[in-house]
Amino acid sequence: APPSYPSTPGSRPPTNTSTQGRETLVKLDAKAAANLRTVKPDEIQKRVNEALSSRVILLGKAPRVIAAKQLKSGDAVLYTASTAEAETLKGSVDVWVKVLGTSARVLKPTYGVVMHGVRTSKESIDTDNQERAIEKLETENASLHPGMKGIYVGWLSREGKRKPTSSLVVEFTTKQQANRVIREGLVLNAIQHDCELYDRSCKLKQCYRCQEYGHIGTQCNAEERCGYCAKAHDTRAFMEKESDPKPTSKCALCKGQHTAWSSACRRRQQEVTRVDLARKNRPTFYYESDNSGPGFGGQGRVEGPPASGPQPTGPPTNCRTETINLDNTHPSPVSKPISPLQAEEHTKELSRFQGGPGNHSIDHDEPHHHRSEPKGGGAAAHQANKRANRSQQGIIMPKPYNVKKSKDQVMASLLRDKNVIRYGILVIQEPWRNPFMNTTHHPIPQHFELAYMDDRRTRVCFFIKKRIPSSQWTVYHHSADLSTIEFKGNENRDTVYIHNVYNPIADLEPTNSTITMLQQVLGQWRGKEHLNSDQEAEDLLSLLDEHQLELLYQPGTITYQTGRTETTIDLTLATPSLQDRFIRCMVATDMEHDSDHLPLETTLSIQSSERAALARWQWNRTDTKLLYKRLQEPLPEPTPLNDRSSINTRVKAITEAITEVVNESTPKTRLSPRSVQGFTQECKEAQMQARRLRRAYQEQRTPEAWEAYRQARNYKARLIRKTLRAFHRTRVREATSTEQELWKIAR
């Protein structure tokens, strides 16, 4: 499913729109800039495209420039149709850049973060010496951020460096590095500093040549206007203030009796409002496509919730499944680190499909895609999870959820929700990725097993309840975007296959469609331009009818919400063989945790058994007197140790004797399914408040309701992140204090 980026209803969109990813900025010298001013945009476009076409054999399919313009600074901006083409254009600079000027060069974007509370003294950090300042940061953060490479360090404002402490801007060349610093913070002079995304649209920028906003004087070629009297001369040439200490002013923008930079200016007030709105809507992280490069030290993609960010991609409003291939196939297990290797005939399947907009090309030679020809028949499945009842006649409740890679905002609160224990299997899409090892956030190992593919690109995973016997389920990992769980009931006819599929966004990964791998389902998704295509609707209906796939929830059910956008992009489909077991499928509103994708809950009636709940000894309540007294009693009579069997018998007898003594002297307790360490009551209240305000916004649909919900959601994420970080640091401190503490935590 595609990432989503909420915006305040009725507000002006932020500066960082989806066009930013399609831009290529070319730096020109004064001579080249002057020559280019005499050229029309279509001529610039033609020059670049002709240069690219002349080298098409070397580049393969050459990217095309669809628009061009020259900035006031003289530099040129080129636009392509997609971010992928923009990357190709930047990667083939030598082919075309010289047609714009002999010294023309492409500027690479930088990604900045803001460090707060930094001491401004030269001893703390000297921003005048860039090389030394960057080296100081890299050295102090070598263990926290291995391989960190900064390219710029500077104070956020000129006035700030005159204060005892101020905010410092640090810039990187990749989004992954910036996102990791935002998540973990930076250390300077042995002080931990929190960091946040540096968004240039949050700065008030005014030109003191023409007095307009949005650019500075060095980029301006408009007519000069005085900031005092609005006449056509340089502001510094205003002489009346020398003879009159309080001269009558006239604003060059709103014509009021004040200077052009006065806070009373209506035009300035509008700009301040825009900046405040941009600051409120500022994303937490930079948006990353899943084929982004590594972060520090070659680590995998930086986790963290790209719930929103520069270069937003709008939510999909239409989806279409092209072809379903129902061969008698079922993939063999690829990686099953936590499940037994058992495979039987495929008898039932639950189908759920989710994808993004755009056209996915089919790549049959993808090296990471594994296919096999299993036995059995049925339809494909996407996401589901199950709940095993405590009786023999079990109820399985699938609850799929796309958590949009967010740990603090979605996964942390979801997995600590007291109601999560009622599900047998949680099926997660776009889980948070640990940057140090191939796993995800898992705070409840005492209740759920995690099935996560050992791959840094993994975007699907399962959480299987430990009460379900491991002999009843098997997990198959086919790729980073496709996993299958085989669940066996107590009867042979109760076998169900659930496929968890993430279909990538075509605009970001045009040759990485997961649907081609699934074999049971071949899908192709269309964008907004095909929303009203009657032919496509007919094709979809024909496809479902041909393979007898039925939609499990009510038609028109909303599964995706962001801002004022509501749509259905998560399809839950099932084969006829599963219909007689189907009980219900609905949106689980009580399990919503601020993801744009709403959780779906499906209930199936399947016979199932369950393991007894594990109990732990309460060692702190041990009756030590009784324990010592019983341990002094003689052990079983020794027997000759002649062979392996006699040794095993003797060890078993001793172990049973000691266990009997411990059972008599030490009480046991069962783990409370609602006991999760590190999650405070304050976090719970913030979670409930965000949920209440989301419901209020869904009822009222006003900008005020959206803003209230947005602030509550962001506060919840910040609070959970802060609380979990503090809990983790406390545990690490306890573990490293003494060896006894380390073993106590491990136990």
pLDDT tens per residue across span 24-45: 989 888 888 888 888 888 999 9
Strands (E), 368-509: 395-396, 399-402, 425-429, 448-452, 460-465, 473-479, 482-487, 496-501
pLDDT value of residue 136: 92
Beta strand pairing call for 473-479 and 23-27: unpaired
One of 3.30.70.330, 3.40.50.2300, 3.30.360.10, 3.40.50.670 is the CATH number of 18-107, namely: 3.30.70.330
pLDDT value of residue 94: 84
Distance between CA 299 and CA 159 in Å, rounded? 38
pLDDT value of residue 13: 37
Distance between CA 312 and CA 482 in Å, rounded? 25
pLDDT value of residue 113: 93
Q: Is 24 exposed, middle or buried (0-12, 13-18, 19+ CB in 10 A)?
A: buried
Would you place residue 170 in the very low, low, confident or very high pLDDT band (cuts 50, 70, 90)?
Answer: very high
Are the C-beta atoms of residues 411 and 440 closer than 8 Å to each other? yes
Mean pLDDT for the stretch of residues 591-616: 72
Helices (H), strands (E): how many in the chain?
18, 27
Using the predicted structure, report yes or no on whether residue 320 has a pLDDT greater than 50: no
Distance between CA 600 and CA 592 in Å, rounded? 10
DSSP state of 205: -
Which helix (H) or strand (E) segment holds residue 604: the answer is strand 600-605
Distance between CA 702 and CA 633 in Å, rounded? 76
Using the predicted structure, report yes or no on whether residue 137 has a pLDDT greater than 90: yes
pLDDT value of residue 652: 86
pLDDT value of residue 107: 85
pLDDT value of residue 619: 77
Distance between CA 212 and CA 225 in Å, rounded? 10
Are the C-beta atoms of residues 319 and 525 closer than 8 Å to each other? yes
3-state secondary structure of 487: strand
Would you place residue 242 in the very low, low, confident or very high pLDDT band (cuts 50, 70, 90)?
Answer: low
Would you place residue 134 in the very low, low, confident or very high pLDDT band (cuts 50, 70, 90)?
Answer: very high
Across 87-96, 379-388, 492-501, 547-556, the highest mean pLDDT is recorded for 87-96
Distance between CA 62 and CA 17 in Å, rounded? 25
Q: Which residues contact 40 (CB under 8 A, 6 or more apart)?
A: none
pLDDT value of residue 114: 92
Using the predicted structure, report yes or no on whether residue 490 has a pLDDT greater than 80: no
pLDDT value of residue 341: 28
DSSP state of 213: B
pLDDT value of residue 154: 92
Would you place residue 204 in the very low, low, confident or very high pLDDT band (cuts 50, 70, 90)?
Answer: confident
Q: Of 302-316, 548-562, 604-618, which range is least confident?
A: 302-316
Would you place residue 187 in the very low, low, confident or very high pLDDT band (cuts 50, 70, 90)?
Answer: very high
Length of the chain: 747
pLDDT value of residue 643: 86
Distance between CA 574 and CA 551 in Å, rounded? 7
pLDDT value of residue 241: 58
Mean pLDDT for the stretch of residues 483-511: 68
- Torsion angle defined by CA atoms of residues 729, 735, 737 and 743, in that order, rounded to the nearest 10 degrees: 170
pLDDT value of residue 66: 92
Would you place residue 510 in the very low, low, confident or very high pLDDT band (cuts 50, 70, 90)?
Answer: very low
Domain boundaries, the chain: 18-107, 217-280, 615-670, 681-746
Residue 545 identity (one-letter amino acid) = D
pLDDT value of residue 280: 75
pLDDT value of residue 682: 80
Using the predicted structure, report yes or no on whether residue 17 has a pLDDT greater than 50: no
Distance between CA 622 and CA 626 in Å, rounded? 9
pLDDT value of residue 5: 35
Would you place residue 633 in the very low, low, confident or very high pLDDT band (cuts 50, 70, 90)?
Answer: confident
Mean pLDDT of the chain: 71
Structure tokens, 168 = 């410092």
Beta strand pairing call for 399-402 and 425-429: parallel
Phi-psi region of 504 (alpha: psi -120 to 50; beta: other; left: phi over 0): beta
Q: Which residues contact 263 (CB under 8 A, 6 or more apart)?
A: 269
pLDDT value of residue 568: 72
Q: Rounded to 5 degrees, what are φ and ψ at 462?
A: -120, 150
3-state secondary structure of 267: helix
Comparing 435 with 113, the larger pLDDT belongs to 113
Q: How far is CA 110 from CA 130, 306, 490, in A?
A: 16, 17, 58
Q: Of 364-378, 404-418, 602-616, 669-683, which range is least confident?
A: 364-378
Q: Of 181-190, 243-252, 286-295, 712-721, which range is least confident?
A: 286-295
pLDDT value of residue 299: 34
Using the predicted structure, report yes or no on whether residue 57 has a pLDDT greater than 50: no
Q: Which residues pair with 570 in a beta bridge?
A: 354
Mean pLDDT for the stretch of residues 453-478: 86
Distance between CA 721 and CA 410 in Å, rounded? 11
Comparing 296 with 47, the larger pLDDT belongs to 47
Would you place residue 617 in the very low, low, confident or very high pLDDT band (cuts 50, 70, 90)?
Answer: confident
pLDDT value of residue 542: 65
Q: How far is CA 132 from CA 152, 364, 465, 629, in A?
A: 11, 50, 53, 69
- Torsion angle defined by CA atoms of residues 723, 724, 726 and 729, in that order, rounded to the nearest 10 degrees: 180
- Torsion angle defined by CA atoms of residues 599, 602, 603 and 607, in that order, rounded to the nearest 10 degrees: -110
Would you place residue 296 in the very low, low, confident or very high pLDDT band (cuts 50, 70, 90)?
Answer: very low
Q: How many CB atoms lie within 10 A of CB 584?
A: 11
Q: What is the pLDDT of residues 323-333, one digit of tens each?
A: 222 233 333 34
Q: 181, 160, 180: which is closest to 170 by C-alpha?
A: 181
Using the predicted structure, report yes or no on whether residue 512 has a pLDDT greater than 70: no
Q: Which residue has the tokens 């250390």?
A: 187
Comparing 472 with 3, the larger pLDDT belongs to 472
Q: What order do you get walking across the sheet with 460-465 strand by strand? A: 399-402, 425-429, 460-465, 448-452
Q: What is the pLDDT of residues 643-675, one digit of tens each?
A: 888 888 888 888 888 888 888 888 877 655 555
Q: What is the pLDDT of residues 388-411, one digit of tens each?
A: 333 333 344 445 666 655 666 678
Q: Of 565-569, 596-600, 674-678, which range is least confident?
A: 674-678
Distance between CA 292 and CA 176 in Å, rounded? 8
Q: What is the pLDDT of residues 678-689, one digit of tens each?
A: 667 787 788 788
Comparing 553 with 601, the larger pLDDT belongs to 601
Are the C-beta atoms of residues 331 and 478 closer than 8 Å to each other? yes
Across 307-316, 321-330, 425-434, the highest mean pLDDT is recorded for 425-434
